[in-house]
Chains A and B, each alone.
Chain A
Amino acid sequence: MAAASETLRLKTPVSGMVFRGLASFRFGATWTLPAVAVVLLVVYPLLSFLALAVWPGLFGQGSGGFSLQPFAEALNGYNIEALFNSLWISLGAGVIGTATGAWLAWVTARTRLPGARLIELGIWLVLLLPSYFMAIGWQTLLAPGGLLNLPWLASIVLGPIGVMFVLGLKFMPFAYLTLVSSWKGLPEEIDEAGRVHGLGGLTRIRLALRLIAPGLAAAFAIVYAEALSDFGVAATLAAGVNFPLATYAIYSAISSQPLDFPLAAAASWLLIVLVLPAVWLQARINRHAGRYSVLTGRARPPRPRRLRPAHTLLHLGGAVIFLLLALGVPLIAAAGLSLVKDPNLGFAPGNLTLEYYARVFQASSVFGALLYSARMAVLSGLAAVVLGLALTVLLLHRGGLARLLDWALLTIMALPGLILAAGYIFAYNQPWLPLYGGSPLLGMAYLTGALPAASRMLLGPVGQQHRSLHEAAQVHGLTRWRQWLRVRLPLLATPLLFAWLLTSSHIVFELPASELLYPPGSPPLAVALIAYLHGYQYATEAALQIVSVLIVGGAVLLIRWLFARLVPAAWRRETLRRPA
């Protein structure tokens, strides 16, 4: 009682307001740099493009001021059908990707399944492969005159169901990588407590799933949003069977005459509406991230468990089927095409050839494209991880700005790279910012595209770091900078490396921004690949695909191997041993 009345009388002294003012200034300074970056990379280009939907004459093209005509067009038959298709296909892909990702993440993080490292390698390869590889693989395999003559399978795969499965499998690695961290951050005591208290297997699975629910929801949001924004499958497999998706409808509007940027902008607005539920879900999880903070200095890292033989067989069988569907098909198709003189004759001895591979290495411009893309990917990936980490830390703050940032990031993720790139053309081809046509602008587009995934991958690990670990550092005299250097960054080493490898290997094959923004004379890898495709040099294109996958995959493995050799074991929580 007494406390309450004293509280009411308590007033903030004037000098207290000065302190609060200073504090909010420091708060402002913390936010300024990331805010400027977000404005330059996202807000300015995106809004200037999206404004075209209601103001078609913004950049002097077209005529007039405010108009809703673009929206009327975007809501007509073809465009609205594409939008609806995108919605249900992405929801299905989200379910497929999250379920598969949760299962495979559990298998590789918490069990001693033989071949777990191969499964992990396979998932990385699925991640490396751009979605158009996978789609082209299924097409070349099953299309009439393709490598496999199975009309019943073709009728299923070369249609909406196939599109959904290809998208779900393609974007499953995003869910997998999010959930590996969740599974590893879940102390083993949780499961042990369940066993001791007599909970059955199913109950314990439900309990564990509830504990990693934030990770599951984040995983679903990523897969759903990635599927919505995908352009590779929409432009190949889906377009090939006349199944329109929203991204392809937008692309059609700005690639075929007459160019209709206002229509593309209006269709983009509608796509953003589709992604709002995912944004809402994600924002809720972030607000409650602290509640799920389970990884403390005291908790022991989980020890992988041995499976019973029957379960081992079951999980192994499932993993093999997954890898066959997601990896086997595109790689077998590409390898098949690149190694034979005539696809119709199959793998007869006289029909085999290495001539297409020789062509890849002989043409210096082709190999140059791979080198250029690799350089861009390493640098933009690094920038994306650094900026992504800064944004993640801000995301974990409470308050409206964090929520706004979170919405912005998920919106970028949902937006097709093509749309962002189109925005870059508008925004950076102006007299006040003439960046169009140079590598820096392409790098900015790569960085922006990679930012949401990088920041989302770091969200779990950063959020799960128990605050007493850095409070202990603070109290014992470590400055903020040193807290990061000595305590927080080492504990984040593994997720940071994963984020960098993921974003970089993704950027190497990036298609839409490369296509729209590459500097004249230096085509990136994806542009070169598509050029072969359009030139009907399928076998050479397939050979270049295989070479790129091998080189990028080799680099990823080499870096991971070096990481395991050079970084102290205690920094890599997955290798921690239990007390004797």
Chain B
Amino acid sequence: MNDAVLTIAGAFKRYGETQAVAGVDLSLTSGEILCLLGPSGSGKTSLLRLVAGLEHLDAGELRIGGEIVDDARGAPRPPERRGLGMVFQDYALWPHLSVLDNVGLPLRERGRSDWRKAARVALEQVGLGTLERRHPYELSGGQQQRVALARAIAARPRLLLFDEPLSNLDAKLRDELREVIAHTVREAGIAALYITHDQSEAFFLADRLGVMRDGKLLQLDQPETVYQRPVSPFVAHFTGAAGPFAVEPLENALSWAGIVAPCPPDAALNGGGPAALYLRPQWLSPAEPGAGAVPGVVRVSGYAGDGWSALVDLPNGSIHLRLPQRVAAGERLHLRVDWDKALLYPRDHKR
């Protein structure tokens, strides 16, 4: 049984000297939201454009709904015949059409005589039922992106593509709209491939989360797995872990600038050479001075609603922490580390 909506196998794409996508494999089942996270230039946009049919594979195979749409050999199926919906970074609303026409045009194109009704349903879903007669230029950025979302879901495509849809919006709108997207897409039960460089967006939306760099998919797992067990220093860092802190492995222990800490049990260190330690802020908590407690100095701090946010200098590095009580710049404190969770990598780890 294979209910994969999208399958990408061995995908390669290059532009001139740049290898944009270098051997990516993934598949997406119906109703699933898969987020691809990566810095700019990591190849996530190229991969999305390949799926959309706006670019063509150099090698590999791409199936949508089980059918091959691009195998780098025959003519790839054009975008308009892939049955997709897409939300663009710059919204890409057609400026000469009203909101209703923007949402309705793809439906009319598919010969739907009830396009008005379906478009209105989609607009209701994104909370814009009253604005159907306006034009894009009469809407705010958040409203425009809601129209773009309505346009993408209106025809009930088998696959939705999101190209960093929230990156042009302010923080509050981003939070609001990512909830609208999560709710709308899950309610519609459509599979979605969502690319972003914002980790909180990706963790919030994803059923599965992939991290990309240099055209490669470094890790593809459930968000909590990516968070707890990142496969490489890059993934750890890009998903918000602080580090690297230089440490030396000892027999069943670690030496961190003279402090001896119990070594994490499943540390994948080969040969006991120098190692890099990564920590997430919530794995550290204030403690009394004593064996295993790590000393730190507050560099800067400020009130953050449910506590104090502080940048704390640790041996060989620094970390942003949320502390329960007020701390002043220059204040010394000791921290207890949840060593069971700490992330350790060989210091010469390439990725």
Contact = CB atoms under 8 A, between A and B. Distances in A.
B96 to A, nearest CB: 4
A6 B23 CA distance: 9
A23 B57 CA distance: 13
Contacts, number: 147
Interface string B79-103: 1111111101111111111100000
A12 B59 CA distance: 7
A30 interface: no
Contacts of A478: 80, 105-106, 109
B156 to A, nearest CB: 12
Contacts of B59: 10, 12-13, 16
Interface string B332-351: 00000000000000000010
Interface string A471-486: 1111111111010001
A364 interface: no
B287 interface: no
A522 to B, nearest CB: 42
Interface in B51-85: 52-54, 58-59, 72-76, 78-85
Interface in B134-155: 135-141, 144, 151-152, 155
A183 B86 CA distance: 31
B216 interface: yes
Contact of B88 (A7, A12, A471): A471
Given A4-B19, A298-B144, A476-B106, A471 B214 contact: no
B96 A570 contact: yes
A475 B86 contact: yes
B80 A477 contact: yes
Contacts of A577: 137-138
Interface string A542-580: 000000000000000000000000001011010011111
Nearest to B103: A476
A371 B81 CA distance: 49
A42 B55 CA distance: 35
Given A19-B74, A477-B80, A477-B106, A472 B14 contact: no
Contacts of A13: 59, 72-73
B228 interface: no
Contact of A476 (B74, B105, B135, B136): B105
A471 B74 contact: no
A472 B83 contact: no
A1 interface: yes
A297 B84 contact: no
Contacts of A433: none
B84 to A, nearest CB: 5
Contacts of A23: 75
Nearest to A3: B22
Name the residue among B74, B144, B155 with the largest chain A CB count within 10 angstroms.
Answer: B74
B95 A573 contact: yes
B75 A19 contact: yes
Contacts of B109: 476-479, 482
A477 B85 CA distance: 9
Given A301-B137, A486-B105, A579-B138, A296 B90 contact: yes
A298 B94 contact: no
Contacts of A324: none
Interface in A269-295: none
B215 interface: yes
B110 interface: yes
Contacts of A571: 96
Nearest to A471: B54
Given A7-B14, A301-B137, A486-B105, A491 B92 contact: no
Nearest to A572: B96
23 contacts: A3-B19, A3-B216, A7-B12, A12-B58, A12-B59, A13-B59, A13-B72, A13-B73, A15-B74, A16-B58, A297-B90, A297-B92, A469-B92, A471-B79, A472-B93, A473-B80, A475-B86, A476-B155, A491-B96, A570-B97, A579-B138, A579-B139, A580-B138
Going nearest first, the 6 A-B pairs with the smallest beta carbon separation are: A15-B73, A476-B106, A468-B92, A472-B92, A474-B79, A475-B86
Given A476-B85, A570-B97, 10 more contacts: A2-B350, A10-B59, A297-B92, A297-B93, A298-B93, A301-B137, A471-B54, A473-B105, A570-B98, A576-B95
Interface of B: 12, 14, 19, 22-23, 52-54, 58-59, 72-76, 78-86, 88-98, 105-106, 109-110, 135-141, 144, 151-152, 155, 161, 168, 214-216, 350
